[in-house]
Amino acid sequence: MPLRTFNLTIDRLAYSPAGVGRVDGKVIFVPGTVPGDKVEVVLDQKRKSFALGHIVTLHKPSRQRRQPPCPYVSRCGGCPWQQVAYPVQLSAKEMLVHEHLRRIAKIPAPPVLPIIPAPDEWHYRHRIRLRTGKKGRLGFSPVHSHEVVEIESCVIAERDIEARLRDARAWLAAVQTPVSHVELVLSDSARPASKSVLIGEAVGVFQEDDDATCINFLHTYPQISGIIVSGQGWRRVWGDPTISFDLDSDGTALRVSRGSFTQVNLKGNRTLIATLLRLGDFCEEQRVIELYCGAGNLSLPIARRVQTLVGVEQDRDAIADARANAARLGQMNVRFLRASARTGIQRLLRNQAQAEVVVLDPPRAGALDVIDMLPRLGARKVVYVSCDPTTLARDLRRLEAHGYRLQVAQPIDLFPQTYHVETIAVSVLTC
């Protein structure tokens, strides 16, 4: 029996890989589409209020559609908006932030500023994480798939990262320890003598012969400055795994030496920091508490402008890097606590700590577990840096229940060709 198909026009992009159209009032999500596309679609999954489908025929392409430059785009799944002209991507992300704040946060007229574009649309990632496959294959895996799409290049990775793919394959072929993922991380290309670090995620035990293998590899491939391999309960390090990148135009550098999280877009990260400092309006009389502070990416620039800053982070390696960076830069007004955000607040409150400003930079899951505790810190202002508009909107709604009103939301594009968007939201206590 032939499958039933539907004709529809795509009217917008969703916070997902898909465009959105409607049939008889029902929302249909169709991956690989562009606003303005007229398509014939077959449905794959049906739900009560929406359905998922795929294109059978592209009857009339949108004027905003373009040819993706990546040969793997149809299989990789990593850059699902490549076919969308960049100005349309930006407009869609700005609207998504606006709509999430209106619908989830229940803010009738969200104060959303025009989105800030990425400095570079292509070749912006200084780190990529690849999956290994049989016979030394190395590539990306589509969502909900175990397939490894082997790649020779990546249009959103910095060009020096692309050049290191051959080195990563050579290392993977040489080691005996089973490795499931390989991450390539590049120091800031704007800094002299930029080097790369190779990070392996192992399954099982470390094979001792690989100690000599990794030492020899670093001698043979001097462009790789360090190797980190981790498994359950163990980690080995060879060479110098330090990655350095500038936080501002003055050349203040952050050093990460333990494989800690860093923003993937280093030029965009400098835009993020500059925007945060401007919107946060930090001043030297303020005490600041930053939750989910990582290795100090935001902490150290903020600390230069305020009286004191306490950063809270549960990752042991990130805290070690943060402390080392503060000491190297001579920032004596900074203190870092190793704890979860919730435990960190509890410890600070036991010591009667207070702050004029709280900064949040949580993972995609958001900060719901600490929102209700924030008023006890006495902060008049909460500056929230979010990588997920859904959890941001949820948390801002909870903040508003405590009297914090959203003053401004600034979307920033750090992830071109994807639906992800960074947002800085500033909420001020009004009661």
CA 101, 97, 188 angle in degrees (round to 5)? 135
| Residue among 76, 79, 214, 387 flagged as catalytic | 387
DSSP label of 43 = E
Give residue for tokens 């930079």. Answer: 361
Instruction: Report d(CA 142, CA 277) in Å as an integer.
Output: 37
Q: Is 387 one of the catalytic residues?
A: yes
Number of residues written out for the chain: 431
Q: Quickly list H helices, 153-293.
A: 159-163, 165-174, 209-220, 266-280
Provide the β-strand partners of residue 149. 140
Quickly tell me which residue has 């435990």 as its tokens: 343
Say if residues 408 and 113 touch (Cβ distance below 8 Å). Answer: yes
Exposure b/e, 117-136, CB count within 10 A at least 16 = b: bbbeebbbbbbbebbbbeee
How far apart CA 268 and CA 414 sit, in angstroms, is 6
- With contact defined as beta carbons under 8 Å apart, do 10 and 22 qualify? no
Tokens of 224: 């790789």
d(CA 337, CA 196): 29
Whose CA is closest to 201, among 147, 153, 132, 262? 132
Task: Scan for tokens 């810190």, then name that residue.
Answer: 377
Which active-site residues does the annotation give? 387
